[in-house]
Chains A and B, each alone.
Chain A
Amino acid sequence: MVLTVIERNGDGTPTAESAEVLAAARDLAEQLGVPVAAVAVGDAGDLPDDLAKRGVAQLHLLQHALLADGSPSCTGEALSQLVAAQRPAAVLAPGTDRSTEAMAWAAAELGVPLATACTEIRPGIRPGEPWEVTRERSGGILLEDAVLDAPIRLATVRPGAPVPSETAAAHEVTVHVLVPDLDASVPRARLVDRRPRAAGMTLTTAPVVVAGGRGVGGADGDAVLEELAGLVGGAVGCSRVATNNGWRPHADQVGLTGTRISPDLYVACGISGATQHWVGCMNARSILAVNTDPEAPMVTRATWAVIGDVHEVLPAVIAELRRRSGR
C-alpha cells in the first residue's frame, strides 16, 4: 500500500497540495502494483466520495481530541501508530510545513528516514532494493538524486506536481477509524490563540506581486509599489535587502528564507536576483523586471524587462494605467 496523508480545507475537502500528492501516490502504487490508501484527521464527511474518484481504496481516519488543534507531534505520533500497524510500502505527504513536521515526528518514532521536498520517487526494480528520490535543495535551485533505503519509505512531495483529472474508475473506499493512543505522554505545544489575518491579498494568493529591492532605495520609496499593486489587484513584496534594512516587514519578503510564491506575474523592481531571492519567485508564471542594470540576473531571467530607475518607470506605468482605465 501507498499511504497518502491528506490535509483538509476548512470544509473537510482535500487541499490542492493533497490532491497533488494523491496523484503522485497513484503513480507510485501503479508501479508497485499495490493499492492507494489515505489518512486524514477527523470525521469522514464527503471525503470517501471525493477520494474514491482519485483512486483511493482505503481511508484511515485518525480521531482523537488531541488532534483537534493540528499539533504535529500528536499527528505524527498517530500517524506512526497507523504506519506501524499497516506497514505500507511508502507514506507520501504534502510538502507543507505542517505535514512535513508531522512526517518528521513520525519518521523519528518509526526510526526510518524521511525524504522531504521530493519531485520524483522511483521504487527499486526488485522488492527490497533501495528506492531513489529526486528532491529539491538550496531552495530548489538544485536537485538532488538520493537513495532512500528503508523498509517503509517516507516522503513529502514538493507542491506543483501535475494533477490528473479525477479517475473514471471509482473504487469503493473502505473507511477505517483509528483512535490513536495519545495521552499526556505525547509532548506537545498547545494552540492557545489563532488570529485570522485581516482579509486581503496575501503574497501566496495574489495573482500579481509587486516587489521592491535595493533599487527602491528605502521605506519612503515603497509608495509607488503600493500604488501599482493596488491598481492591478496585487500584493507588495520585497527582497531580503529591504527587510534587513527595515524598509518592510519580514512577512513581505520573497525568497529562500521568506515566502516562496507562484503568482501569474511577478514585478521585480530594483531587485538584482540573487539566488536567495530567485528561489522565492522562480515559480512565477511570468516575470517583469525593472532594473537599471541590464545584466542583473533578474533581468536576464525575466520574461519582460524595462531598463531604468524604478522611480522613473513605475510612476509612468501608473499614469498610463490610470489613463487607460480612466481612473
Chain B
Amino acid sequence: MSSLPDRAQVVVIGAGIVGNAVVHHLARLGWRDIVLVDKGPLPDPGGSTGHASNFAFPVDHSREITLLTGDSMRQYTELGTLTTCGGIEVARTPERVQELHRRMSSARAWGVDAELISPAAVAEKVPFLDPSVVLAGFWTPSVAVVDPLRAGELMRERAVAAGALTVSALTEVLAIETGDGRVRRVRTDRGDVDTEYVVVACGVWSPRIAALAGATIPLTPAVHQMIDVGPIEELAATGREIAFPIVRDMDPLMYERQSGADLEIGSYAHRPILCDPDEIPSLAAAALSPTQLPFTPDDFDPQMEAALELFGGILDRPDAGIRHAINGLLSLTPDGHPLLGETPEVRGLWSAAAVWIKEGPGVGRLIAEWMTCGAPEIDPAAADIARFAPHERTRAHVRARAAEGFNKTYGITHPREQWSSDRGVRRSPFHERQRALGAEFFEVAGWERPQWYRSNEPLVAELGVEDRPHEWDARWWSPIINAEHLAMRRAAAMIDLSAFSQFDVQGPGALAFLQHLTVAQMDRPVGRVVYTPVLGPDGGFRSDLTVVRLGDAHFRVVTGGADGARDLAWFRRHLPGDGSVALHDVTSAVCTLGLWGPRARDVLAAVTDDDISDAAFPFATARWLTVGSVPVLALRLSYVGELGWELHAATETGARLWDALAAAGEPHGLVPAGIGVYGTTARIEKGYRLMGHELDAEHGPVEAGLALPRLKAQDFVGKAAYTKAREGEPEATLCTLRLDGARDASGLRRYPQGGEPVLTPDGGRITDSRGRPSYVTSAGAAPSLGTHLLMAYLPPRHAVEGTELLVEYLGERYPVTVARAGRTPLFDPDDTRMRG
C-alpha cells in the first residue's frame, strides 16, 4: 500500500490510459510531486481502458482528432505496445462508397497513406470475407491494435523512475475542496492531499468526480456492444493476437477484428443505451467489471445477421460459439468531441475525459503541454471543455445529443448536418417572425438561426440562381441563400445576429485588461469599433472579435456564438484579482439585427430621426440611435461588405425593432437573409476569415493576413510570437481559390464543401515548411462573382495569384486557380460599398 503525501503539485484522478499518459507527460515536462489515484486496482482499475477493442484507425475527417491519433500511435509504437495489422472500411452501398472517397480525401489532406480497393482486393487481404456484399474498401495499412493497459503501466513506471510520481490504487476520492474558485485539496479514503491542480481522467465517472468540486463534465456513459465468436481455425492457426486486417463494416455500423482464435464483433448500431455515472456498479458488485455491463442480446441480433452476411464462411460453424459478450461502457459527449482543458467553473480543475483509446496518449501530451505552457501543440479548440453554453452542460441535453450522436459513430455525417434533438432551446425575439417567413433554422450554441427563408423562394427564379444538381452538394443547402445574397447586394437585407456572445468589460482596469488580451490598440476614443485577433501564448488564434468602447472604462466585446463560451472562459480566467475589472455576459440581454446593402441607409433613415449620414456616423464607429421607441446601439461595420449597421437592442424590444425595419424596408427591396449569406457567401466574397475555419491555433494573424499595420506598445498575450512572425516571411499564406465550372465525370457541376486537400497540378500533396497541409478551410458560393470560392493556406511557392492547382473532392480532382493571396477582397476590393 502506498501512502499519500500531504502535498502534491498535481493530483491526477483515474489510472486508465488517459491518466497514465497525463502523469507521464507532466513528469516529462518537469512536473514533480505528481500523485495518481484510482478507486480500482492496477493495472486494470475497471474502467473503459480495460475492455476496449483497442484498435486505431488513423484517418478522421477532423484534423485535430487525426493529429491526436497520429501522436498516440507514435507513442504506443515507442512503448512497444502497438501491432500494425492494417484496416479496411468496407462499403455495401453507393452512398458509403462516396463516403469512402471522402475518407480518401481526408487521408490525403492529413497525409495518411490509404487506398481505395476493390472487393476482390479486400478479400485478398481478409480471405474469409464475402466480397459479394462489398462494393469497395478503404484500406489503411497503418491501422493497428494497441495495448493501453501495458502502455499505461510503462508510462507510470517512467514517471516513477523520474522521481516525479506517487501511485495510489484502491484510493477513493471523497471530496475536492476549493477556495476562491480554485482547487485546494483532494480528500481520499487514504488521506488528504493539498494541491492546486487536479486532472479528472475518470472516463465514464468523470462527471461524478468533477461534481465534487462543483464543476460539470458533460458526458454520459453509454453502451457499446461487443461479442467474441470462436474458436475459428483460420484465426487460431495464425498463433497471433491479430494477423488479419481489422474490418469496419460501415453500413451496418459495426466492426470485426481478430482477437486470437476469436473474431470480435462490435457495434454502434443498436439503440442508444445510456446510463448514469452514479448508477455504475462497483468493481465488487459487477459480474465482470464496472464498465462491462450485462449483455442485452436483443439489441445485438441485427448485427449478428449483418456479421453472418460478411463473414458467414467462418461464423456459421457449429463450433464457433459466442464466448464473450458485453455491454461495454464508453463516454459520449453532446458533440462527439473530447472534453479537455481547465473547467470553466473551477481554476486548477482540468478535464481529460471522453477520450478513445486511439487518442489517449496524445491527449495526455496535449493536457500536459496545456497545463505547462498555456497552449498545446495541437489546437484544442474543438475539444475545449469550455466550449459549451450553459444549457449544453445539462443532463437532459447531454443525454439527448449523446443518444442522437451514438449511431453517427460510423455514420455518414454531412459537414453541414444539423442535430435534431433538443432543439429550440435559445430563440431570438425575432423567432416567431422568422417562423412565419418559413425560416430554415440552423443551430449554433443552442441558438436557432435562420439559414435561409422560404419566403425568399421567388427570388431564386427572379435572380436566376442555379440549383446544385448533386444531392450531396445540395444537402443542408438551398439556392435561396444565393438569392438572398444577390438581393442584399442589390438592395438590402436584415440578418438575425442575436446568437453573438457579448460581454461588458467595465471598471478602472478594463482598458489594461483588454489591452493584455487583444492584438489591436484598445485605447481609442469612446465610440470606436475595433476588430482584433485574440491570441494564445504561442501566437495562434484563440478568437477574433469586435470591441466597442462605450465609455472611458466601459467596453463591449462582441464575438461569435460558436466561440462565446470559450471566449468568456478565457476572459474570466484573465480577470485581475483586485476587482478592478467587472465582466458581465450580456448575451441574453441583447438582440442583434444586421442591416446591410446599398439601401441600408435609406431603410434606417426611415425609422430614426438621428443623423446617420457618413459624416455623422462614419465607418467603424458606434452610436446610440432611437428606432421608433426602441433605443438601439448601432455599430457601423460589416462582415458582408456592404454599407450598414449591426443594431443592438434590449432583447424584449427585438420584435418591435424587426417590425419597424421590415415595414420601412419593404419599399426599398429589403429582404430577411439567413446565416447562409452572412457566414458563407457574402463573407467569402470579401475574403473575411472565420474562427474555427481559417482561424485556429495553428495559424497566427500574419499568415491569416490579419496582421495590423502597427504593433502596439502594450504587452499582450501572444505578442512575442506575433512580433516574430511579423518580422519574418510567413510559412503559409491564406489564399482564396476560384473553382470555375467544375464538372464531375458524369457532367454534373460540383461544389466542394470544405476540408478537401489542395494538390499540385500533378496531384501531389502540398505542405508548408512546418509540415502543415494545405486543405480547404472554407468553401462557398460567390454569387456576385459568379463563381465558387475556396480558402486555403498555401506555402509561399504556391501562394501566388494565378497559380493553377487541384482540389480533390469525393474521388475526383478539379482545377482551381489562386485568385487572391492575402486579405484583399475579390469582391469590391477597395471596400467602397461599405464605406459609402
Contact surface of A with B, Cβ cutoff 8 Å: 293, 295, 297
Chain A residues with CB below 8 A from B41, complex form = 293, 295
How far does the alpha carbon of A101 sit from the alpha carbon of B258 in the complex, in Å?
Answer: 48
Show 5 A/B contacts (Cβ-Cβ < 8 Å), sorted by A: A293-B41, A295-B41, A295-B169, A295-B170, A297-B284
Closest 4 CB pairs of A and B: A295-B41, A295-B170, A293-B41, A295-B169
Q: Which residues of B contact A293 (CB under 8 A)?
A: 41
Q: Distance in Å from the Cβ of A51 to the closest Cβ of chain B? A: 47
Q: Could you tell me the distance in whole angstroms from the C-beta of B140 to the nearest C-beta in chain A?
A: 35
The minimal Cβ–Cβ distance linking A271 to chain B, given in whole angstroms, is: 16
The complex places the Cα of A293 from the Cα of B41 at a distance, in Å, of 8
Contacting A at CB under 8 A, from B235-289, are: 284
Residues of A close to B284: CB separation below 8 A: 297
Q: Which residue of B lies closest to A295 (CB)?
A: B41
Residues of A within 8 A of B170 (CB): 295
**B contacts, CB < 8 Å to A:** 41, 169-170, 284
CB distance from A293 to the nearest CB of B (A): 7
Per the bound structure, the CA–CA distance linking A295 and B1 in Å amounts to: 10
Instruction: Report the minimal beta-carbon distance from A283 to chain B, rounded to whole angstroms.
Output: 21
Report the separation of the CA atoms of residues A295 and B42 in the bound assembly, to the nearest whole angstrom: 9
* CA–CA, A295 and B284, complex, Å: 11
CB distance from A105 to the nearest CB of B (A): 35
Residues of chain B within 8 A of A295, CB atoms compared: 41, 169-170
* Secondary structure type dominating chain B contacts: loop
Inter-chain CA distance A297–B41, complex, in Å, is 11
Nearest residue (CB) in A for B284 is A297
Instruction: Please give, as numbers and ranges, the residues of chain B lying within 8 Å of A297 by CB-CB distance.
Output: 284
Complex: A293 Cα to B170 Cα, angstroms: 12
Query: Closest residue to A293 on the B side, CB-wise?
Result: B41
| Cα-based distance from A57 to B284 in the complex (angstroms) | 50
Q: How far is the CA of A295 from the CA of B169 in the complex (A)?
A: 10
Bound CA span A272–B742, Å: 66
Q: B169 to chain A: which residues have CB within 8 Å? A: 295
A293 to B283, CA, bound (A): 15
In the complex, residue of chain A having the shortest beta-carbon distance to the beta carbon of B283: A295
Q: How far is the CA of A293 from the CA of B169 in the complex (A)?
A: 12
Q: Tell me, in angstroms, the Cα distance from A293 to B45 when the chains sit together.
A: 12
Q: Which residue in chain A gives the minimum CB-CB distance to B43?
A: A293
Give the CA-CA distance A113 to B18 in the complex, in Å.
57
CA distance A293 to B42 in the complex (A): 8
> How many angstroms between the C-alpha atoms of A297 and B285 in the bound complex?
12
C-alpha gap A297/B284 in the complex (Å): 9
Q: Give the distance in Å from the alpha carbon of A63 to the alpha carbon of B158 in the complex.
A: 78
State the Cβ distance, A218 to closest chain B Cβ, in Å. Answer: 14
Q: Once the chains are docked, how many angstroms separate the CA of A119 from the CA of B169?
A: 39
**Minimum CB–CB distance for B100 against chain A, Å:** 41
CA A72 – CA B169 in complex, angstroms?
A: 53
Shortest Cβ distance from residue B323 to the other chain A in the assembled complex, whole angstroms: 10
Chain B nearest Cβ from A307, distance in angstroms: 12
Closest CB in chain B relative to A213 CB, distance in Å: 17
Which residue on A lies nearest to B41, using beta carbons? Answer: A295
CA A147 – CA B446 in complex, angstroms?
Answer: 59
Q: Which chain A residue shows the least CB distance to B44?
A: A293
B285 to chain A, nearest CB (A): 11
User: A293–B44 Cα gap in the complex (Å)?
Assistant: 11
Minimal beta-carbon separation of A309 from chain B (angstroms): 15
CA distance A295 to B170 in the complex (A): 8
| Smallest Cβ-Cβ distance to A296: which chain B residue | B41
Q: Can you name the residue of chain A whose Cβ is closest to the Cβ of B1?
A: A294
Q: How far is the CB of B3 from chain A (nearest CB, A)?
A: 15
- Complex CA distance for A323 and B41, rounded to whole angstroms: 37
Complex Cα–Cα for A71 and B284 (A): 43
CB distance from A273 to the nearest CB of B (A): 11
Q: How far is the CA of A93 from the CA of B170 in the complex (A)?
A: 45
Q: How far is the CA of A297 from the CA of B169 in the complex (A)?
A: 15
**CA gap between A200 and B170 in the complex, in Å:** 43
A295 to B46, CA, bound (A): 13
Least Cβ–Cβ distance between B236 and chain A, in angstroms = 14
Residue on B nearest A274 in the bound complex, by CB? B287
Q: Tell me how far the C-beta of A141 lies from the nearest C-beta in chain B, rounded to whole angstroms.
A: 12
Cα–Cα distance between A44 and B584 once the two chains are bound (Å): 99
Q: In whole angstroms, what is the CA distance A230 to B284 when docked?
A: 35
- Give bound CA distance, A297 to B170, whole Å: 13
CA A155 to CA B460, docked complex, whole Å: 89
Q: How far is the CB of B4 from chain A (nearest CB, A)?
A: 17
In angstroms, how far is the closest chain B Cβ from the Cβ of A245?
A: 12
Determine the residue in chain A with the shortest Cβ distance to B169. Answer: A295
Chain A's closest residue to B170 (CB) is: A295
Alpha-carbon distance A242/B284, docked complex (angstroms): 22
CB distance from B95 to the nearest CB of A (A): 45
In angstroms, how far is the closest chain A Cβ from the Cβ of B220? Answer: 29
A141 to B174, CA, bound (A): 30
Give A297 to B283 CA distance when docked, in angstroms: 11
- Least Cβ distance of A27 to chain B in Å? 36
Query: How close is A138's CB to chain B, nearest CB, in angstroms?
Result: 13
Complex alpha-carbon distance, A30 and B170, angstroms: 51
Docked complex Cα distance between A109 and B189 (Å) = 57
Q: Which residue of chain B is the closest to A297 with respect to CB atoms?
A: B284
- Separation of A223 and B41 alpha carbons in the complex (Å): 30
Q: Determine how close the nearest CB of chain B comes to the CB of A267; give it in whole angstroms.
A: 22
In this complex, what residue of A is CB-closest to B40?
A: A295
Shortest C-beta distance, A211 to chain B (Å), equals: 22
B496 CB, min distance to chain A CBs, angstroms: 59
Q: How far is the CA of A5 from the CA of B169 in the complex (A)?
A: 53
Cα distance A293–B46 in the bound complex, in angstroms: 14
Task: Give chain B nearest CB distance to A2 CB in angstroms.
Answer: 41
Nearest-neighbour CB distance to chain B for A276, whole angstroms, equals 11
Q: How distant is the Cα of A175 from the Cα of B79 in the complex, in angstroms?
A: 81
Assembled-state Cα–Cα distance A297/B286 (Å): 13
Complex Cα spacing A302 to B446, Å: 57
**Alpha-carbon distance A297/B282, docked complex (angstroms):** 14
Q: How far is the CB of A110 from chain B (nearest CB, A)?
A: 39
- What is the minimal beta-carbon distance from B40 to any residue of chain A, in angstroms? 9
Alpha-carbon distance between A261 and B185 when the two chains are bound, in angstroms: 49
B435 to chain A, nearest CB (A): 60
Separation in Å of the A197 CB from the closest CB of chain B?
33
